[in-house]
Amino acid sequence: MNLPAVPVDRKLWSSQGLGGADVRRTFDLARRLKSNALLGEGQPLAGKNLAILRATPAQPEDSVFHSAATALGARVAHVWLGDSIGPTGSALQNVPKMLGRLYDAVDCGNVSAIAASQIESQAGIPVYRGLDTYPATVLADLAALCEQLASGATDTADASMLFIGDATTGRAQSFLQGARQLGFDLHFIDVAADALQDAAGSAAAFIVDATDVERWVLGGPSARVDDAQRSANHRFVLQAVLLITLLAR
Q: Say yes or no: 93 and 208 in one domain.
A: no
Q: What pLDDT score does 176 carry?
A: 92
pLDDT, tens only, 92-104: 778 899 999 999 9
User: With a cut of 70, which residues of the chain have pLDDT below it?
Assistant: 1-21, 37-41, 58-61, 83-91, 134, 150-158, 192-202, 248-249
> Which structural domain range is residue 16 located in?
10-133+233-247
Same domain flag for 101 and 151: no
Q: How many domains does the chain have?
A: 2
Same structural domain for residues 34 and 121?
Answer: yes
Structure confidence at residue 153 (pLDDT): 47
> What pTM was estimated for this model as a whole?
0.81
- Are 32 and 38 contacting, i.e. CB atoms less than 8 angstroms apart? yes
**Which residues have CB under 8 Å from 145's CB, separation 6+?**
161, 206, 208, 218, 220, 225
CATH number of 79's domain: 3.40.50.1370
**Same-domain pairing of 82 and 203:** no
Strands 127-128 vs 195-196: parallel, antiparallel or unpaired: unpaired
Among 243, 9, 241, residue whose Cα is nearest residue 133: 241
Cis ω on the peptide bond leading into residue 44 (within 30° of 0)?
no
Please indicate, yes or no, if residue 5 is contained in any of the structural domains. no
- Identify whether residues 16 and 106 lie together within a single domain: yes
- Let me know if residue 111 belongs to a domain: yes
16 and 104, same domain (yes or no): yes
Q: Are residues 113 and 32 in the same domain?
A: yes
φ, ψ for residue 187, nearest 5 deg: -135, 155
- Domain match, 104 and 208 both: no
Residues 105 and 151 both lie in one domain: no
Of 246, 224, 48, residue with least CA distance to 141: 224
pLDDT digits over 228-243, tens only?
888 889 999 999 989 9
- Residue 2 is assigned to a structural domain of this protein: no
Do 58 and 159 lie in a common domain?
Answer: no
pLDDT of residue 112: 83
